Structure 1
Amino acid sequence: MTTTVAEGRPTFRRRVRAGEAPAPGPGYASRLLPFLSVLAGTAAIGWHATRYGNWIIDDAGITFAYARSVAEGLGPVVQLGAVPVEGFSNPSWMLLLAAGRLLGLFDHGTLFGVPDYVLFPKGLALLCCAGILVLCYRAAAMVTRRPWLATLAIGAALASIPSFVIWCFSGLSNSLFALTVTGLAVLLFRAVLHHRLLFGRIAVGAGLLAALAALTRPEGLIYAGVYPLAALIGLRRYTIGPVLGRAALSTVAFLLPVGTYFCWRYLEFGRLVANPAVAKEQDMPVVEDLTRPGALVGYAGALAVLAVAVAIGMVLARRVWWRPALLALLVPLGLALLAFAVLRADWMAQFRFATPVWVLSALVGTLAVAEVLRGVGRHARVLGATGLAAVLLPSAVSFEAAASEFRDSPNISMCFVADRMGRGFNAYADMLELKQGSLLLPDLGGSAMTSRLHLVDMAGLVSARIADYMASGDRQGKRDYIFDEVKPTFIHSHAPWSAANGIPSDPRMERDYYQIFEYSYPGPPNGDWVRKDVVPDRQTLERLRRYANTTLTEVDRRSFAREWPRRECGDTLHPGQTQVNQH
């Protein structure tokens, strides 16, 4: 029997000949089925994404605005004339969007009749999903006889999970993040099966993929531990010296790009973390945080999770030949769950921080179930597959309900903010014949894409000074800064921000500002305000109020309609627009 030099174990090719792993069948069908399985899975994911129409989450608009500034040579600023602040936490995704703008594919107009600010990020997401399925096929081809069928099952599983589809196609970086983490997991999975885990190129590749994950999402830093942990798990087969050496090599490959970026961040912004991390007051994790993944169990369905867990346990207990590779695959899954647990709870629906968990769970679960079914007779296999379908049915029903609920009432869209806060306040400024002015508000995405006013971020994401006040809990200091130093021309505030920061209730608001528009929410005042010293007369103030109570009231009212949040908001988004899109 042929053996590897490093480990004295049968090579993977010999295992294929011995029947322990499947050899790909010859012929046209065997070459076509992999392509069709990836295509079908990608199409299913894309079809699910169409349920949410042109919806883009407003936070994505912040990254869009930074991509525009970078592409225009303005540097890392949210708009022309702004102070450099790292208001984005996904530099790799932002650079992809900036590249798209330079190529004329993003932030220019329409592509195939669809605004490119919708089509380009969603198209990138679809390509990332196709890449995920290609990687899953490469993993399944190592350990299953019909990898195309496993790939199809993984694609169907991902297409059925609203959390995965919604956030991959939200305009945020989730799809790229999931692709990167999947690439890291599959790299180690295949390396273990080929007995190449301690090869230098594997260690370097793992470190670089972990670095890309860290530069795509802040919690991606945790994946620097994937390769060292996977190598340590294999200590029964390796000696400690090579393991530590390769772990150090992988860490160096990770630190070079990430460390370089962190040094640039500190020199450019004076911070070691992105500004949103400061504003969101991310605390050190506590023991209670480890219970958060329980919410994912409830979302996916306890029976389905139990079935997958039992299948994984059976494979580990049987000590099948690819058990070491399964253990390596469980490392990134475990770290993905840990990252979800320690991140501060997010206000957005549908678990947007869980995207890698869904992909890795689908991959691990499918491979484990396939192995369990392969090891039983035909009759037992039919019964097992039937039982699995019955177990998954409640999850499918729950997913459909979650998808329908989000479709009818998605989180705040970039287009709503572009119309209500960007174009609406531009119209206010035009009525006042202001050459320049400023606007304090909590919603920055669509505003940054359309406003001609200097934006002041009430939420602190793109304002370092306000982020520091929020991190320290200094509400009074924040209000003093707003009223005594910034003195914004316009203020917009709504729940829950009005109660959280107390700005509308501050006595200086009534002293210095006229209220243009008021929401009928209970609690503190909510609405739009303008500084008194820029209003020339009573007639102009009444004109502002008439516009607010007609055009902007209609935008607010229709934002709760079923179709309105899923619309697009014009062929282009650019500063100075005043025409609210009514379609």
Structure 2
Amino acid sequence: MSTATDDRDTADPPDEGWPTGRRRDPVTRTRRWATDRPVLLAAALAALAVGVWACWSVTVDDAYITYRYSANLAHGFGPTWNPGQDPVEGFTNFTWMVWHAPWVWLGVPLPVVSKLTAAGCAAAIVWVLVTEPRTRSGAALAAGSFVLFLPTWVHVDSGLETAPFALVVLRATVLAARLLRDRDAAVRSWEIPALLLLAGTLRPDGVLGALPALAVLLWVRRADRSVWVATGAAAVVGGVYLAARRAYFGHLLPNTFYVKVGVEAATDGRWIQTTAATLLPLLALAVAALLRPRTAAPAALVLASCIALWIIPALSAPAMDYLSRFAWHGFPLVCLAAAWALDTVEVRRVAAGAAAAGVVWTAAAGVLAPDARTLVNYGDDLRRSHIAIGLALADTDLPAGERTLAVTDAGAMPYFSGWRTTDYIGLNDERIAHGANPTDVLLADDPQVVVVTSGSPVPPPGSWRTDLPRVLAGRELVGVAQMRPEYFQLVFATPDVAAQVRAALDRRLAEGRAVTDTRLDPGYARWIVRLLGLS
């Protein structure tokens, strides 16, 4: 094992070249790695670009919730679900929502904004994973695992704040790790507090992920008055933000918190088991880094940050945790800590073998994830169902006062339709989130169109505590959109608008089938055929 310093210009890193039967001198090894690093960076970015292209069609339904709030903000209604009604905070990514609003004015499709922004953040993560490790094997493990992990491609393209948030936490952790190695490192006093503030406005739990980095800053630079001033300023700004949210929305926490807490508790360990199996080699190396003096403190920081990020999903069964989305928030951190562990390995063959094994395991785990086959086809499936329904409703020539809708999948349908919508799960409905009976709410709102999510073309007797027979009484079934083999959206309308809604649905559902591959089965073969233009 090596205990060299972390000075990249003068350090004597282990020989990381392929075996040649002789050892090169330290200067030669350092120069060769400096030459090879741009090559690895270019290869990693190319792999990321191919993956993002391959999953470009994937925009998850929840992303359209944020887009609806962004559009309403851009149009002068404020960040609200239904313009003119009491505002409700059905999103959990304030900064991400605000970021999209100006693009509405410019006419840029919001999914494109999300994907390009997230891709830029992912590219920045790749830069960190290539440049922070001291050795070729470490950088290859970190960057290779990241860009060849199929969930990376999906999360970058999903439309959500996942990649930007991961970048913010990674940057804060890297800065703190530099301070642990050298208390005089060039770290600005305000940057980590600002990153913590940004993390907290990207996700309500984001403060937890950056908090260990702030703790390191406050301890290492405890005698630096500017650090405390910057931290105090960030706390004031954060307090003003929380107070403004409380005054505007009427509640301290986002509306979704009140719906999900206590409903999805599931401490059976499934989330922990899945995450541990998927990231096993990386986690093992990150733990091994605790055993070496040079990497012990940075590795402990990474593991503390991951625990902070993962404690909530580990103790619950969070909705929309597709492809271990919440584990992915800490994925770049684990990649980097594993790279630091390989940086201490002197035998280049051992380091190269460990790096190859880690990349292969992680890539295979991403491909073998239970929901991966479904997610790579998600965009096509959503286009012929939810999006088609939303576009059909927008096509109808109904007065504004009659454009009323009720859904459980409150994403693409409300966004594309523009109709006033009751979300009878309650994620975007303050009444239901705070205890009102969904059946009573729907009977009071009396929407013209009710969309029911079902496992078959027949509506279930109930959905999300809703008595569907009572709600659907007097309404006609005017369309059925099938997303997957056991995933249907059943559209019911009042008799006075049924004919118009049915005609619009027939056109848009046919169009959706025409522009997608029409297949329902989840599978890689279907995805690859579509990518090759053969479907």
TM-score tier, shorter chain, comes to 0.7 to 0.9
Give the counterpart letter for 2:415 in structure 1.
M
Q: CA deviation at 1:69?
A: 2.2
TM-score normalised by L of structure 2: 0.79
For normalisation by structure 1, the TM-score amounts to 0.73
Corresponding residue SS for 1:351: helix
- Residue 87 of structure 1, CA deviation: 1.8
Which of the residues 42, 48, 51 maps onto 1:48? 51
**3-state SS of 2:478 partner:** strand
Matched, 1:329 2:302: yes
The reply on whether 1:207 has 2:193 as its aligned counterpart is yes
- For residue 571 of structure 1, what is the aligned residue in structure 2? none
Q: Does 1:267 align with 2:247?
A: yes
In structure 2, the residue matched to 1:60 is 63
Pairing partner for 2:120 from 111, 122, 127 = 127
Q: Which amino acid aligns with 2:442?
A: I
8 Å CA contact 1:466, 1:478 repeated in 2: yes
Give the structure 1 partner of residue 416 of structure 2: 450
Equivalences for residues 151-170 of structure 1 within 5 A: 151-170=139-158
Q: Secondary structure at the match of 2:405?
A: strand
Report the 3-state secondary structure (helix = DSSP H, G, I; strand = E; otherwise coil) of the residue aligned with 2:462: helix
| 1:506 partner SS | helix
Report deviation, 1:52.
Answer: 1.9
1:345 is the counterpart of 2:345: no
Deviation at residue 519 of structure 1 after TM alignment: 8.0
Does the aligned pair in 2 maintain the 1:224–1:254 contact within 8 Å? no
Residues 159-168 or 185-194, more deviating: 159-168
Letter matched to residue 518 of structure 2: R
What residue number does 2:182 align with? 194
Deviation at 1:214, TM superposition (A): 1.0
Deviations along 1:470-512, whole A, 9 cap, x unmatched?
Answer: xxxx5xx2211210x21111111113786333546333532x4
RMSD after superposition: 4.3
* 1:76 maps to 2:79: yes
- SS of structure 2 residue aligned to 1:440: strand
CA distance in 1, matches of 2:428, 2:466: 18
State whether structure 2 residue 258 is matched by structure 1 residue 293: no
Does the 8 Å CA contact 2:71/2:101 hold for their aligned counterparts? yes
Look up the match of 2:393: 425
Q: Could you report, residue by residue, the CA deviation over 1:405-435 in whole angstroms, capped at 9, with x for unpaired residues?
A: 13554389664455333122334x43x7776
Report the Cα distance in structure 2 between the residues aligned to 1:224 and 1:392, rounded to whole angstroms: 26
Give the superposition deviation at 1:278: 1.9
Contact 1:59/1:444 (8 A) holds in 2: yes
Deviations 1:252-300 (A, max 9, x none): 34422322211111110101011122232367989x3776322112234
SS at match of 2:451: strand
1:573 maps to none
One-letter amino acid matched to 2:115: K
State the number of aligned residues.
Answer: 505
Structure 2 residues without counterparts, runs of 5 or longer = 16-25, 528-534
Contact 2:393 2:505 in 1 (8 A): no
1:487 aligns with 2:416: no
* Residues 441 and 267 of structure 1: CA distance in aligned 2, closer, same or farther (over 3 Å): same
SS, match of residue 58 in structure 1: coil
Q: State the shift of 1:54 in Å.
A: 1.8
- Counterpart contact for 1:279–1:461, Cα < 8 Å: yes
Deviation, 1:124, is 0.8
Supply the distance in 2 between the matched residues of 1:507 and 1:478 (Cα, whole angstroms): 11
Shift of 1:97: 1.5
CA spacing shift, 1:297–1:312, aligned 2, 3 Å: closer
TM alignment of 1:92-107, pairs within 5 A: 92-102=95-105, 104=106, 107=107
Which segment is superposed worse, 447-456 or 337-346? Answer: 337-346
Choose from 236, 252, 263 the match for 1:256: 236
Task: Decide whether the 8 Å contact of 1:58 with 1:417 is kept in 2.
Answer: no
Matched, 1:226 2:189: no
Confirm or deny: 8 A CA contact 1:122 1:170 kept in the other structure. yes
The 5-angstrom pairing of residues 316-395 of structure 1 reads 316-320=290-294, 322-342=295-315, 344-372=317-345, 374=346, 376=347, 381-383=348-350, 385-386=352-353, 389-390=356-357, 393-395=360-362
Say whether the 8 Å CA contact 2:141–2:356 is kept in structure 1. Answer: no
Q: Which residue pairs with 2:531 in the alignment? A: none
Q: Deviations over 1:536-556 (max 9, x none)?
A: xxxx74x75576567537858
Give the 3 Å change call, closer, same or farther, for CA 82–155 of structure 1 in structure 2.
Answer: farther
Q: Take 1:548 and 1:409, find their aligned partners in 2: how far apart are those partners?
A: 22
User: Which residue pairs with 2:19 in the alignment?
Assistant: none
Query: What one-letter code is carried by the residue in structure 2 that aligns with 1:487?
Result: D
Q: Which moved more, 1:71-80 or 1:496-505?
A: 496-505
Distance 2:113 2:72 in 1: 17
Q: Identify if the C-alpha distance between structure 1 residues 25 and 151 changes in structure 2 by more than 3 Å, giving closer, same or farther.
A: same
- The offset of 1:215, in angstroms, is 0.7
- Partner amino acid, structure 1, of 2:475: Y
